[in-house]
Amino acid sequence: MPLGERVEGKGESRYCGVETEFDDDVCRLLSFNLSSAGFDFVVAPLMDPSYRPSLVQVQNDTSPVLPVAGSDLVLSPSQWSSHVVGKISPWIDLDSEDEILRMDSETTLKQEIAWASHLSLQACLLPSPKGASCANYARCVNQILQGLSNMQLWLRIPLLKSDDDSPDVDSDRLMDSWELWNSFRLICEHHSQLSLALDILSTLPSANSIERWFGEPVRAAILCTDAFLTNTRGYPCLSKRHQKLITGFFNYSVQVVISGKPLHEIHGATTGSAVNHIDENTNSMQRHPLRSYLEYVGYLYQRMEPLSEQERIELGYRDFLQAPLQPLMDNLEAQTYETFEKDSVKYIQYQRAICKALLDRVPDADISAVTTVLMVVGAGRGPLVRASLQAAEETGRKLKVYAVEKNPNAVVTLHSLVKLEGWENVVSIVSCDMRLWNAPEKADILVSELLGSFGDNELSPECLDGAQRFLKEDGISIPSSYTSFIQPITASKLYNDVKSHKDLVHFETAYVVKLHSVAKLAPSKPVFTFNHPDYSTKKSNQRYTKLQFAIPQDTGSAMVHGFAGYFDATLYKDVHLGIEPSTATPNMFSWEYVLPCGKLQPLASENSGVILDS
């Protein structure tokens, strides 16, 4: 069942499963855990845990029948697919020094995944590597992945960090589990069907260390019962840090799996769900011992804040690579203009900037005698023209507007808008490239919105440099300056999407993305700044810079899949517009810029560098 009835969901993360023991009767297993308890799926072993290939005697050259949990006929294909995640036998160790165990492990792993694929399961849970060395295990999994259809493999990894003095940590195991995951997935070549299932233990690493995982392909959070506390009424609950982690996972479409024994069995205490309680709905079935844990996870889900209107609009675009617009080379379509025009916050800021510029340009004593010449270069379908005229009305200043637009299709809409609004005596429409137009007079104010997501990625500096020749020497450019920023990120999904093209071109392409499943590894830093108008004699838009980023010491190692790009613009004086995280304009509908890394290197928690040129 969904974790509580919510009008607005948070994605696919509304579901909770339970880890079970091996059971020959799969129908009974599902009935007890799903029908009576309310879990949505089980993570169940597919094969008898006592099975070892080396102990099976082959008779009459006939392959032995595998001791699986029921035939494929006991459930329909849709039931297998929707309600069962296969759990690969936890005893397997493909990097063991024991050759028999190693051979048994490889044989069993391939047999179980083949059976799971036959059942059309959506995912299988792979056991965590037994030690720091997992090369053979990863090699075998990579080999399996090459012939796998659509099934996902979830590698089970404990959420551990080396500087934690956690009682859950086995001293013989690698302390920073991210290192273990990274070495495994590198051997598997970042395969898109290899994902993560994180074991959430009673002790959590630092917030910075946890943040790394949000950029990795985490599909499930296995919440161990010993990570729970008990409240005053005897029911299970989680610490504030665990609550924050689980609700964070919900936002990233990570499903929760309850694992382990209930608290009353671990500590000898009595909880609110007594073992002998009879469920009133079934009238016969014993209440599931982990039902209280499911109810608590459902409670965490239900109390999450609903999605905002902007989040609902962006939901389908999250982590989706889009080539940046090139409005100078291509004529934009109506749908693109409509998307821009939905961003009311941006045009409110532009109107504020134009108001301030008009007030500075024309004193109160001259408002009846002076007409300000304002040119909107790249007018599109007219939102900046409208903002300019509204600013004139608000300030009581007289305005003459030139709307310059190179897209002939948008010019049609501009003419219709001018006629509809009755602006014929105020607005002159110019169908021309701003760099080629010979203006009949000089402008007092030059207004444009050519910034893109990185400030300069839609040729704003080049276009405005070409247009500033028809701006008066004391004229005002809106925007007056803008700065680009970059920030190193872990973004496994985006990296795999780029890698799927199997060429260098896509790694050399920057993309516009609504970032979601990413980990931001260090604060952003400024890259290039442009000022307008720029009357310097040696001006050039070629730029070169070298940056270093300091990753917090407690983060541990991380993989930089690319860089997120932002901009921050000063429209006029103190009127600001931007998407750089620390100073972002609230509720502005604008997406980040992503620059992929072609050759990946894991970074330790120390300075990392990048060189950019433009």
Going by the annotation, the residues of the binding site for S-adenosyl-L-methionine are 337, 346-347, 405, 433-434
Helices (H), 449-491: 460-467
Catalytic annotation, pick one of 211, 449, 580, 592: 449
CB hemisphere CA count around 284 (13 angstroms): 3
Distance CA 411, CA 91 (A): 69
458 annotated active-site: yes
Q: In which region does residue 380 sit, left (phi positive, over 0), alpha (psi from -120 to 50) or beta (all else)?
A: left
Measure CA 497 to chain center. Answer: 13
d(CA 59, CA 184): 38
* Residue 591 CB partners (closer than 8 Å, separation 6+): 314, 317, 453, 512, 513, 514, 515, 579
Choose the catalytic residue: 19, 216, 458, 580. Answer: 458
- The Cα-based distances of 605 to 205, 559, 560 in angstroms read 15, 11, 12
Q: 236-237 and 562-572 as β-strands: parallel, antiparallel, unpaired?
A: unpaired
> Closest Cα partner for 423 from 395, 385, 383, 367?
385
In residues, how long is the chain? 614
Q: Strands 481-490, 525-531: parallel, antiparallel or unpaired by DSSP?
A: antiparallel
CB 88 within 8 A of CB 112: yes
Residue ranges for the binding site? 337, 346-347, 405, 433-434
Alpha-carbon gap, residue 510 to 180, rounded angstroms: 30
CA–CA distance, 389 with 382 (Å, rounded to integer) = 11
- Strand 427-431 versus strand 558-559 pairing type: unpaired
Question: Would you tell me how many other CB atoms lie within 10 Å of the CB of residue 2?
Answer: 13
Place of tokens 């659509």: 150
H, E, C per residue of 298-366:
HHHHHCCCCCCHHHHHHHHHECCCECCCCCCCCCCCHHHHHHHHCCHHHHHHHHHHHHHHHHHHCCHHH
Residues near 219 by beta carbon (within 8 Å), at least 6 away in sequence: 123, 152, 154, 195, 196, 197, 254, 255
**Cα 349 to Cα 578: distance, rounded to the nearest angstrom:** 10
Where does 417-490 show beta strands of DSSP type E?
427-431, 443-447, 471-478, 481-490
Pairing mode, strands 575-578 and 562-572: antiparallel
Q: Is 338 a catalytic residue?
A: no
Written as one string, the DSSP assignment of 144-168 is HHHT--S-EEEEEEE---TT---TT
Burial classification of residue 584, based on how many CB atoms lie within 10 Å of its CB (0-12 exposed, 13-18 middle, 19 or more buried): middle
How far apart CA 558 and CA 605 sit, in angstroms, is 8
CA 37-40-46 angle, to 5 degrees, is 100
CB 52 within 8 A of CB 89: no
Residue found under tokens 């397997």: 92
Catalytic residues: 449, 458
